[in-house]
Amino acid sequence: MKTAKSSTAATTNHERERRARAALAAALFCAFALYIAWHASHESNSRPVDELPMSTARGDDTSTPIADADKPELIKRGAYLARIGDCVACHTADPGRPFAGGLPISTPLGKIYTPNITPDPDTGIGQWSDTDFIRALHEGIGKGGERLYPAFPYVEFTRMTEQDMLAIRAYLNTIAPVHYTPPANELRFPFNQRWLMILWNLFNFNEGRFVPDPKQSAEFNRGAYLVEGLAHCEECHTPRNFMQGLKTTERFSGATQAGWQAYNITPDRTSGIGNWSDDALIAYLSTGIAAGHASAAGPMADVVQHSTQYLTHEDLRSIVAYLRALPPVSGGVTRPRDAWGKPAVNDITALRGTTITTVSGLQLFVANCASCHHWTGEGVGGSAPGAYPSLIHNSVAGAPRPDNLAMVILHGVRRQTKDSDVLMPAFGDALSNEQVAAISNYVTTQFGDLQATLTAGEVAALRAQPQ
Ligand code: HEC
Ligand code: HEC
Ligand code: HEC
């Protein structure tokens, strides 16, 4: 919500704020170091792996004990669950080597490379026992007892049942082993000290399985189990505290992820998605398009492509039922981001015969964008599949901060789903920061939130965000 509200907060300020936070976190880590070292040496290694009876924790009752004859069924379920957890997106750097890791994840503390989770015995997790595997996902502890970094979403995965994890493990065992060692992490001191995560966990991690709320429907509980757990929506949509832990008081109210705004998805009618119908939300998660509201670009395009498009209708309905029941968080805006804009009328005629001497957003828009989005902004091809979308009533054009608009111009849109392959070209190489700012300001003035303006400096900062 904070991210969505401060409409023109300069990105450079964020950078400074980020550095200050990192420094503060470092200081705090060091101050507690001795205490924690003591704590660690006295900590018992044995912990109950699962505290809840499975049928209670799952939020549904389809679980049965695993017999050998059920193996194909188990693997199939594991494949589906791995989709929901989006394991492949983070653990794949080269599409030819799925699950072999090596993808750099940029964090404020430095770069973390994802490990190889194929069954290769030397470089993957082939030698891990099921208990090792479960401990990693439930507790964020690696095979050698080392602490894992929370760039691995164990903060959410901890809520999963042991049975669902074993299904994922059974599926991962069927993946072709890949012999590949990802590069070493590039983390600054003191963040390269894994044991410091004990301290981080103390403040930011609640280990424990999902507990269904008996006052809520089975549908809600299934949605909560998925969204708060395996699907880890909060990794992007919940703002973080100075230690980079999730702010539990502002859940789902929006946050920034690699330069992209993961919007407020609470049911607030103006700041969130309270004005979307259930069907619009389901369409968004299964295709990436909710006509008249939004389409999915950047990290959300990846989520739709690798994960949510594969969800069953029942699971999508459950997710929606859960999102609907969240406490609404107001970001202080007065108009929903998908309720802005009207078709451009006279602008194009104004261009005729004029000599343009400055960087003109209108001219740049007509030259670079109008072939697909039409000079009126209404798009081309209407609602037919493969049509180019309208920029009117689009959450990216109407957001109070135009970061995603600039990111879409810089990086384009790429989203492959079962029924379409969506492509908007990237303009990052062709356009200067000044030109991107000019187009962005033209788009927000014409089709979006009039208050949302961007400077060339802000575009430069967004361009510098590693993707
Ligand atoms: C948001 C990115 C992300 C997603 C999604 C993700 N992981 Fe990971 N995972 C990581 C990172 C980063 C690490 C390494 C953490 C570290 O080095 O401390 C990791 C570590 C692991 C490890 C420990 C491996 C080792 O060698 O130490 C396992 C096991 C694992 N992940 C399994 C999974 C499974 C199963 C899923 C899907 C249910 C999944 N991960 C989804 C980012 C991710
Ligand atoms: C890797 C980060 C990431 C994860 C994980 C993620 N989101 Fe998003 N989400 C985003 C970003 C970024 C956007 C904005 C996309 C855009 O600008 O096109 C977004 C947009 C959305 C929107 C549209 C909001 C609007 O007004 O345009 C919805 C709804 C949504 N996400 C729901 C979810 C749900 C449900 C999950 C979990 C299943 C989830 N997201 C997981 C990053 C993420
Ligand atoms: C070759 C056709 C093409 C061109 C040229 C083009 N776009 Fe797009 N644009 C698309 C497609 C396709 C999408 C994605 C539609 C979807 O997500 O389903 C898109 C999406 C968008 C979105 C919505 C992103 C979101 O997450 O909701 C915005 C905003 C946008 N374009 C702005 C621009 C601007 C500004 C320019 C000029 C710099 C431009 N486009 C040029 C085809 C194009």
Which is nearest to 289 in space by CA: 162, 395, 179? 395
Is the per-residue pLDDT at 254 higher than 70?
yes
Residue 379 identity: G
> DSSP letters along 126-171, please?
TT--HHHHHHHHHH-B-TTSPBPPTTS-HHHHTTS-HHHHHHHHHH
* DSSP string for 412-445: -EEEE-SS-EEEE---TTTS-HHHHHHHHHHHHH
Domain ranges (residues) in the chain: 43-204, 347-463
Per-residue pLDDT tens digits for 19-55: 656 655 555 554 554 444 444 444 433 333 334 333 4
Q: Domain 347-463: which CATH class?
A: mainly alpha
Residue partners of 402: CB distance under 8 A and separation at least 6: 440, 441, 443, 444, 448, 449, 452, 453, 454
Q: Which residue has the higher pLDDT, 18 or 259?
A: 259
Model confidence at 432: pLDDT above 90? yes
Cα separations (Å) of 234 from 90, 245, 302, 323, 434? Answer: 16, 11, 15, 12, 33
- Residues in contact with ligand 3 by the CB-under-6-Å rule are 288-289, 294-295, 297, 368-369, 371-373, 388-389, 391, 394, 396-397, 405, 408-409, 413, 422-425, 427, 439, 443
pLDDT tens for 69-117 read 679 999 999 999 999 999 999 999 999 999 999 999 998 889 999 999 9
Q: What is the dihedral of CA 135, 140, 141, 147, to 10 degrees?
A: -170
149 lines ligand 1 (CB under 6 A): yes
Task: Tell me which DSSP letter residue 194 carries.
Answer: G
Ligand 2 centroid–CA 67 distance in Å is: 38
What six digits make up the tokens of 334? 């007065």
Query: pLDDT band at residue 350, thresholds of 50, 70 and 90?
Result: low
Sign of CA dihedral 175, 181, 183, 185: positive
Long-range contacts of 129-135 (CB under 8 A, 24+ apart): 130/166, 130/169, 131/49, 133/165, 133/169, 134/49, 134/50, 134/162, 134/165, 134/166, 135/49
The residue whose C-alpha atom lies closest to atom 37 belonging to ligand 1 is: 87
User: How far, in Å, from the CA of 440 to the mean position of ligand 3?
Assistant: 12
Distances in whole angstroms, Cα of residue 362 to Cα of each of 30, 374, 412, 425: 53, 12, 19, 19
Query: What is the Cα–Cα distance from 44 to 244, expressed in whole angstroms?
Result: 27
Average pLDDT along the chain: 87
Amino acid at 209: R
Task: Pick the residue whose CA is nearest to atom 14 on ligand 2.
Answer: 262
Helix, strand, coil percent values for the chain (each to nearest 5): 45, 10, 50
pLDDT of residue 174: 96
- Distance CA(246)–CA(269), nearest Å, equals 23
Q: Which ligand is nearest to the CA of 82?
A: 1
Quick one: pLDDT at residue 85? Answer: 98
